Amino acid sequence: MSSSIKVVSKLLSERIQARTAMVGVVGLGYVGLPLAVEFVNAGFSVTGIDVQASKVANLNAGCSYIQDVPTEIVHQHVESGRLRATGDFSVIAGLDTVNIAVPTPLRKTKDPDMTFVVAAAEEVAKYLHPGMLIILESTTYPGTTEEVLLPMFEQGGLKVGKDFFLCFSPERIDPGNAHYQTHNIPKVVGGITPQCTELGALFYSQALDTVVPVSSTSVAEMVKLLENTFRMINIGLVNEMTMMCDRLGINIWEVIDAAATKPFGFMPFYPGPGLGGHCIPIDPFYLSWKSKQAGVEARFIDLAGQINGQMPRFVVNKVQNALNSQAKPLLGAHVHIAGVAYKREIDDLRESPALDIILLLEQKGAHVTYSDPFIPSIRLNRHSLSSVNLEEVVAVADCVIIVTDHKAFDYEFLVDNARLIVDTRNALKSYHSRKIVRL
Ligand SMILES: NC(=O)c1ccc[n+]([C@@H]2O[C@H](COP(=O)([O-])OP(=O)(O)OC[C@H]3O[C@@H](n4cnc5c(N)ncnc54)[C@H](O)[C@@H]3O)[C@@H](O)[C@H]2O)c1
């Protein structure tokens, strides 16, 4: 290592260890805000930067808008002067580290939409200065950090591994998970150079329990895609098994529970109304896009995508058949959806299968209402719906579909009072009634 690299990295490493390094987080959403809070918990001063003025204002007012981050903590940190937010990227000039956690959605064509990452990186590049550590956390295809970000950052003449340090570290947060949160989920980090990895690992180890260094940014990018593709494909497999079991008259839930008693070589995955959230339905397509460019078809991903994509229609067919068996047509029926968030106990509607189910039901002429204690209203193609009290509609609806098994729902009341229930989550596992139709 040359002496100038040594000096730059030594200074940064000293500032990190003394916790005097000024930390920045670009993108203050589900990933960025918890991360910012962890670094303040560890004793750093953190500046969050977001283009959404309401998030900046909320944070500076000491209010949390992310369910897993308590407002009391945000309030305390803002009051202490160690956490603040801004929409002004020029603050980067005074920061030592910057984590980028902006959205990575898909285009309609299922190609990666890199506009948010590129926009954030352009701002970081403007204020890049010697001695800085930059870590991309947004889930993306392997090669992004090296092929997209690095050239942007080196354009001004600074050299990676010498003047500044660049890493990728996948975020593995699981919103709504009370046990595993940012601080105790092992953090994988890979840098462009070994020095980058070392500084990235040192940085995270100040605030997080376990750090797992890997040899490159591409390995770190691929780790996240393996994890999420693994989930997506296994859910696809179990969803396909569900369709088979439906034809064969076998209860898939009982099959999975019994299979899960095998103490080795099996891991249970559960069927559902379709994939949701900002990760599992999206991330694997980042990988398939990249692998197609390299001449390799991602066949498992494409197949699982097709199967999982059929689930909302499968649910609607179940509703239609169940109503038919009661001599009630779906056309004109009142169908009530219990839960629209993409999973239980969270307020995230992104990519939720409930939205597809509602649209399909409406296309077939059903009158649809919904209840969700976490989501007061939803915007559909041409209209909006507001959440209604489940207890008030249960008895009047022709069918209730449990799409999201929130704990707040009174399942006993539901079973006692509903005319027909289609349960896509096995929330009524312990109930036996002819009016329950399971996935
Ligand atoms: N939500 C999850 O559970 C989760 C888990 C693991 C990984 N991820 C990944 O983390 C990344 C962020 O996801 P998220 O759920 O936090 O998204 P989010 O939408 O909750 O937050 C992203 C934030 O970035 C801001 N933003 C957008 N463009 C910006 C820019 N140019 N400069 C500054 N801020 C900008 C947005 O206003 C928003 O506040 C994604 O790549 C996602 O795939 C998400």
Query: How do residues 69-119 score in pLDDT, each as one tens digit?
Result: 999 999 999 999 999 999 999 999 999 999 999 999 999 888 999 999 999
Answer yes or no: is the C-beta of 278 below 6 A from any ligand 1 atom.
yes
3-class DSSP assignment, residue 432: coil
Report the mean per-residue pLDDT for the chain: 96
3-class DSSP assignment, residue 142: coil
For residue range 205-249, list pLDDT tens digits in order: 999 999 999 999 999 999 999 999 999 999 999 999 999 999 999
Q: Is the pLDDT of residue 133 over 70?
A: yes
Q: Which atom of ligand 1 is nearest to the CA of 27?
A: 24
6 band by pLDDT with thresholds 50, 70 and 90: confident
Return the structure tokens found at 207: 């605030």
For residue range 28-42, list pLDDT tens digits in order: 999 999 999 999 999
Closest by CA to 55, choosing from 28, 90, 92, is 28
pLDDT of residue 149: 98
Closest by CA to 69, choosing from 47, 40, 37, 99, is 37
* Residue 215 CB partners (closer than 8 Å, separation 6+): 190, 197
H or E stretch including 39?
A: helix 32-41
Å from CA of 265 to ligand 1 middle: 35
- The string over 82-117, giving b where at least 16 C-beta atoms fall within 10 Å of a residue's C-beta and e elsewhere, is bbbbeeebebbeebbbbbbbbbbebeeeeebbbebb
Stretch 180-194: mean pLDDT: 97
Q: Which atom of ligand 1 is nearest to the CA of 138?
A: 41
Task: Let me know if 399 is a catalytic residue.
Answer: no
In angstroms, the first-to-last Cα distance of the chain is 60
Q: Which of 28, 31, 116, 141 to mutate to test the pocket of ligand 1 (most atoms within 8 A of CB)?
A: 31
- CA 380 to chain centroid, in Å, comes to 21
Closest Cα to atom 32 of ligand 1 = 120
Q: Is the pLDDT of residue 145 over 90?
A: yes
H or E stretch including 399?
A: strand 399-402
Asked whether 59 and 83 are in contact (CB, 8 A), the reply is yes
**Count of C-beta atoms within a 10 Å radius of residue 209:** 12
3 band by pLDDT with thresholds 50, 70 and 90: low
Cα–Cα distances in angstroms (integers) from residue 197 to residues 9, 188, 203, in the given order = 11, 10, 10
Task: Report d(CA 268, CA 315) in Å as an integer.
Answer: 21
In sequence order, what E strands does 113-223 have? 132-136, 164-168, 187-191, 211-214
Answer yes or no: is the C-beta of 280 below 6 A from any ligand 1 atom.
no
Return the structure tokens found at 91: 């603050």
Cα–Cα distances in angstroms (integers) from residue 298 to residues 240, 312, 408, in the given order = 18, 23, 40
Answer yes or no: is the C-beta of 104 below 6 A from any ligand 1 atom.
yes
Q: Is the pLDDT of residue 2 over 70?
A: no
Stretch 12-40: mean pLDDT: 97
Closest Cα to atom 18 of ligand 1 = 29
3 state SS for 198-216: HHHHHHHHCCCCCEEEECC
Q: Is the pLDDT of residue 131 over 90?
A: yes
Q: Is the pLDDT of residue 381 over 90?
A: no
**Count of C-beta atoms within a 10 Å radius of residue 364:** 16
Task: Report d(CA 234, CA 213) in Å as an integer.
Answer: 27
Q: Is the pLDDT of residue 1 over 70?
A: no
For residue range 254-296, list pLDDT tens digits in order: 999 999 999 999 999 999 999 999 899 999 999 999 999 999 9
For residue range 304-351, list pLDDT tens digits in order: 999 999 999 999 999 999 999 999 999 999 999 999 999 999 999 999
Return the structure tokens found at 34: 């918890």
* Residue 334 CB partners (closer than 8 Å, separation 6+): 366, 367, 368, 369, 393, 396, 397, 398, 399
Answer yes or no: is the C-beta of 309 below 6 A from any ligand 1 atom.
no
